[in-house]
Amino acid sequence: MQYLKENYRWRICLVLFVTVLVGFYDRLNITFAIPLMAQEYGWSDQQVRDNGSLLMGIFYLGYGLANIFLTPIASRFGPRKTLLVVIVLWSLFTALGAWVSQFMMLLIATRVLLGLSEGVHFPMMAQLTKNWFTLHERAKANSIWVSGIFVAVLTAPLLLVPMMANFGWRSGFVVLALIGLVVSLPLVYLTIHDKPEQHNKVSSQERQYLADHHDYEGGLTDNSLLWQVMTKPGFLLLMAIGICNNIVALGVSSWLPTYFATEKGIPYNDIAWLVATPYVFSLFGIALWSYLGDKHNKRTIVAGVGYFMCGIMLSLALDSDTIWQVALLFSAAVFFISSYNACEFAMVQRLLPKHKVATGAGIYNGLTTMIGGGLGPVIVSPIIGDGEGTWIVSVVCAINALMLIAVYRTVKY
């Protein structure tokens, strides 16, 4: 049943995609700035690792805390108002990072503030998706805006590396701040509505259809306390999976530019295509995995197999000597790991009551990103050192694969 004229709900996904794209540019800019900062400030190899891990990881502290503690407050105002406010804030803090960069403590503070401002973004999008989409559309709907992550990782080096190389790394911060204000903000203002009943094109029949097709499989009533939902085995296992996923995904993506520049000796101006190429395959992956997940209703099984393959590809990539082999194997790893991104928020939405999706997703996203994102750059940092300990990445992938299969046995989705 096409319950909304002109497929308006899919426009919402496209706008959310743009906000994810720009938001991820803001958090990724430090990844491409670190090699240039190291040259400017004369950092040693150890300082690159220490300062880089701190600047990349501290973002996730603020991000995680905001997800957990600010999402309940943001939920009272609704997704639309919240998104408008946080886009202004994260644009401001991105620009501040360029202006105070000569003072390390102030630069660190801007990264924390950036994390705080971006923290409620994903929970609000999760709430919008559950409000506007039925169970059997949700993996595809989530995948549209989640793919903004991969497009950001894919295009960020193509946008930021030439800009920073030619005009200085601070220019990337300022330009991204302007994009948030000029592009993301107007789109949200003109397009986003919190609920279908707030849109004048939605009929009463269509509203009833949406109400009848909202689901909750947490095993409790819709009025259950949130802690009762989130302490169930299925949700706790999903939290552990999310943490491991962020350790691998965010850890590898954070260090990849430095890996190519320092370990493989690629000139900074030439790393853009090498960093971007693997993430082309993530777009094919997330489209394929979300389609298969919705079609066969076995999302976590698909993701589990994908994670096994990802671990194998990463292990081979880190042991390869030639650049083309490394790029090809990283591309395969990213293709397979996108199987989890295709089902992640669909699983979270499935396990939470409708009116608690934002708060529950905030706790989930906050803890998994704060722990996984904070640990990721540290655990994965050996790939730019002496090479010892790189096997840990593949072990985490194998553990995640087993946990995903266990989730399917707990929640048939």
Cα distances (Å, whole numbers) of residue 269 to 48, 160, 163, 277, 325: 19, 10, 10, 15, 20
The per-residue pLDDT for 178 is: 92
The per-residue pLDDT for 412 is: 67
Dihedral over Cα of 142, 401, 62, 255: its sign: negative
pTM higher than 0.85: no
| Per-residue pLDDT tens listing for the chain (413 residues) | 444 444 677 889 999 999 999 999 988 888 888 888 888 777 777 777 777 778 877 888 888 889 888 888 888 899 999 999 999 999 999 998 888 877 888 888 989 999 999 989 999 998 898 888 877 777 788 889 988 988 887 888 888 888 888 888 888 888 889 999 999 999 999 888 888 776 666 666 666 666 665 655 554 444 455 566 667 777 888 889 999 998 888 777 777 777 777 777 777 767 777 777 777 888 888 888 888 877 777 888 888 999 999 889 988 887 777 878 888 888 899 899 888 888 888 888 777 777 778 888 888 888 888 788 778 777 777 666 655 656 778 888 899 999 988 888 777 66
Residue with tokens 């009463």: 204
The per-residue pLDDT for 62 is: 87
Residue with tokens 């998994």: 368
Dihedral over Cα of 144, 31, 33, 84: its sign: positive
The per-residue pLDDT for 221 is: 47
Is there a contact between 92 and 174 (Cβ–Cβ < 8 Å)? no
Q: Which tokens go with 380?
A: 């994965």
Task: Tell me the DSSP string of 243-293.
Answer: HHHHHHHHHHHHHHHHIIIIIS---GGGHHHHHHHHHHHHHHHHHHHHHHH
Comparing CA positions, the residue from 286, 281, 255 lying closest to residue 373 is 255
Distance CA 178, CA 193 (A): 24
Dihedral over Cα of 348, 352, 354, 356: its sign: negative
The per-residue pLDDT for 384 is: 62
Is there a contact between 21 and 216 (Cβ–Cβ < 8 Å)? no
Instruction: Collect all residues with Cβ–Cβ distance below 8 Å to 338 and sequence separation of at least 6.
Output: 150, 281, 282, 285, 286, 289, 306
Distance CA 253, CA 319 (A): 17
Is there a contact between 192 and 198 (Cβ–Cβ < 8 Å)? no
Q: Is 389 helix (H, G, I), strand (E, B) or coil?
A: coil
Distance CA 325, CA 323 (A): 5
**Buried (b) or exposed (e) across 168-201, using 16+ Cβ within 10 A?**
ebbebbbbbbebbeeebbebbeeebbbbbeebee
Distance CA 334, CA 1 (A): 35
